[in-house]
Structure 1
Amino acid sequence: MPREQTLDTETFTYEYRSNCGKAVPLHFFGKGHEYKLFGLIPTDRHLVTVDKPHTLLLWGADSAGRDVFARAMQGARVSLTIGLLGVAVGTFLGATIGTVSGYFRGPLDTLLQRFIELLMSLPTLPLWLALAAILPRDMSVTSRYFLITLILSLVGWAGLARQVRGKVMSYAESDYVAAARIAGASSSRIVFRHLIPNASSHIVATATLAVPAAIIAETSLSFLGVGMLPPAVSWGVLLSDAQNIAAVQQYPWLLIPAVLVVLAVTCFQLIGDGLRDAVDPYG
């Protein structure tokens, strides 16, 4: 159904009205602008196209006339990769520190555990806000992307480290670890060839369950204006446009990215629950 745009001279905002008397046909696999499929194959075929000068906006446009669907897909790449990369870095830190703490014990274990307890006692969201607020607002999008990822990973590894430590402490008393010591294996070989691989199933399941929290964290920071900032596009940046009630009343489709966040978080939680049940020997 085509929509016509008119400018309100009193409020200087665009108003959209549906025009049911004018049909615009859709063409499947029609011709459009040229692009490279998968970044390799040049083509001009698109899944759905319309005749010029019309423009196909599947989820409508925002107040600046930008395609919400295209921006939501672009934002998915940023929000999801920040969550995945942040969890990957945090998982590496948590698995390594937890394994070292549980295997060597002694004063090193005591020092690491006190630091982990101090980190876990801090409220997560205010800590993220404080760290993100330090970043200069005029820094490049790429630099801000990696720094936000680093901030999310530096806070989320402590819980995994405590869990891995408990696993490793039980594995360290196993016969195969004692046999490796008698055979002359170094501590690093025992840690990386025996202890971490045996705890990998639990690490993978825990990391998968941590991805939704990282996605929500990035979305929250960007929504509050301290995470990713325009011209970057993420789900949090898109939802920041919906803070204005007047804008939501006129453009209710601006809330669609919130639905995508809910779907992504739910999917990762279901996958994490499935992996946890699969690796649980007593399930």
Structure 2
Amino acid sequence: MYDTSPEAAPPAPPGPELQTLVPSSRRRAPLPRWLRRTASPILVLAVWQLLSATGVLTSDVLAPPGTIARVAGDLIGDGSLPTAMGVSLQRVAVGLLFGTVIGTGLALLSGLFRIGEDLVDTSVQMLRTVPFVGLIPLFIIWFGIGETPKIAIIALGVSFPLYLNVYAGIRGVDAQLIEAGESLGLSRWGLVRHVVLPGALPGAMTGLRYSLGVAWLALVFAEQVNADSGIGFLMVQARDFLRTDVIVVCLIVYAFLGLIADFIVRTLERLLLQWRPTFTGR
């Protein structure tokens, strides 16, 4: 008979120590974020330069990056590009201001009051289906060929994304928060100030980001119709003289201005929405 009691059991042979499992994402040394964000543009420039050097892309189709950099330096040196940027930025700023006031005001009226929704929402939903670019000839007839039609077309394009997002943000506020505010004795204005407007703020910031993109798109069309200044005017002149290098410089300027504007809005969003937990990605 063998003794099967625990005391008589032979000791277990020594084995390798257990190692703590570490996720592979933590074991790898991550690349700096600025490097990951700039890798794609650098790759595009490298492929562009390679195609230009091998003759696949000729200068009359698309100028090489080196030529574009030289032309950009010349335009900055003679002052034509900074002057055009200043005029375009002024148009976008004024149009964005008017469009923000109009879109947000209509959204508040339609989102906070049922009678406002009945009077405003249907008309706005009908107008937003009309391509705002197609209204440029009508605006020229109404306002002439000066700055007014250009600002009006930007304001019109900006107002619709803001209206839709602010209105959706107001109507999307959690009803339980409204009930909680009412149980705490908040008045109607108190509910709007402390519950509804903060709850609609994320939608408003999203609408502002969309509106900035639409503002630059509207500016491109507005400045190519009866304009005598601005980045779009430089593009029209370059088109008449088949200067693809100047056209690409203007497009790059549009892209960088839009990127800077989006960065400003995202920074403002982080400051105003610090109370909201968000997923930042992995």
Which position in structure 2 is the counterpart of 1:258?
251
Which position in structure 2 is the counterpart of 1:162?
164
Any conservation in 2 of the 1:205–1:273 contact (CA below 8 Å)?
Answer: no
Aligned-pair CA distance for 1:190: 4.7
Give the AA of the match of 1:101.
Answer: S
1:109 aligns with 2:117: yes
Equivalent pairs: percent with the same residue? 15
Give the AA of the match of 1:152.
Answer: I
Query: 1:1-283 to 2 correspondence within 5 Å?
Result: 59-60=73-74, 69-105=78-114, 107-137=115-145, 139=146, 144=147, 146-171=148-173, 173=175, 174-175=178-179, 177-178=181-182, 182-183=185-186, 185=187, 187=189, 190-191=191-192, 194-223=195-224, 225-226=225-226, 229-230=227-228, 233-244=229-240, 246-248=241-243, 252-253=245-246, 255-269=248-262, 281=277, 283=279
| C-alpha distance in 2 between matches for 1:88 and 1:203 | 14
Give the AA of the match of 1:240.
Answer: V
| C-alpha distance in 1 between matches for 2:198 and 2:98 | 17
Which position in structure 2 is the counterpart of 1:12?
none
Cα distance per residue 1:87-125 (max 9 Å; x no partner): 2322222222212212222x4312311111111111121
Local SS of the residue matching 2:144: coil
Going from structure 1 to structure 2, the CA distance change for 1:161 and 1:136 (only over 3 Å counts) comes to closer
| C-alpha distance in 2 between matches for 1:102 and 1:77 | 36
Any conservation in 2 of the 1:119–1:155 contact (CA below 8 Å)?
Answer: no
> Runs of 5+ in structure 1 lacking a partner?
1-56, 62-66
Give the AA of the match of 1:206.
Answer: G
| C-alpha distance in 2 between matches for 1:149 and 1:276 | 26
Pick the structure with more helix per residue.
2
Any conservation in 2 of the 1:83–1:218 contact (CA below 8 Å)?
Answer: yes
| C-alpha distance in 1 between matches for 2:109 and 2:165 | 12
Any conservation in 2 of the 1:90–1:156 contact (CA below 8 Å)?
Answer: yes
Any conservation in 2 of the 1:82–1:149 contact (CA below 8 Å)?
Answer: yes
Going from structure 1 to structure 2, the CA distance change for 1:177 and 1:238 (only over 3 Å counts) comes to farther
Going from structure 1 to structure 2, the CA distance change for 1:73 and 1:133 (only over 3 Å counts) comes to farther
Q: CA RMSD in A?
A: 3.4
Any conservation in 1 of the 2:161–2:208 contact (CA below 8 Å)?
Answer: no
Pick the structure with more strand per residue.
1
| C-alpha distance in 2 between matches for 1:115 and 1:175 | 31
Give the AA of the match of 1:149.
Answer: I
Give the AA of the match of 1:204.
Answer: M
Any conservation in 1 of the 2:169–2:202 contact (CA below 8 Å)?
Answer: no
Any conservation in 2 of the 1:168–1:199 contact (CA below 8 Å)?
Answer: yes
Cα distance per residue 1:208-233 (max 9 Å; x no partner): 3321321221122212x24xx22xx2
Any conservation in 1 of the 2:172–2:200 contact (CA below 8 Å)?
Answer: no
Aligned-pair CA distance for 1:68: 6.8
| C-alpha distance in 2 between matches for 1:254 and 1:170 | 43
TM-score normalized by the length of structure 1: 0.58
Give the AA of the match of 1:156.
Answer: V
TM-score normalized by the length of structure 2: 0.59
| C-alpha distance in 2 between matches for 1:154 and 1:254 | 26
Local SS of the residue matching 2:103: helix
| C-alpha distance in 2 between matches for 1:211 and 1:259 | 16
Q: Which has the larger radius of gyration?
A: 2
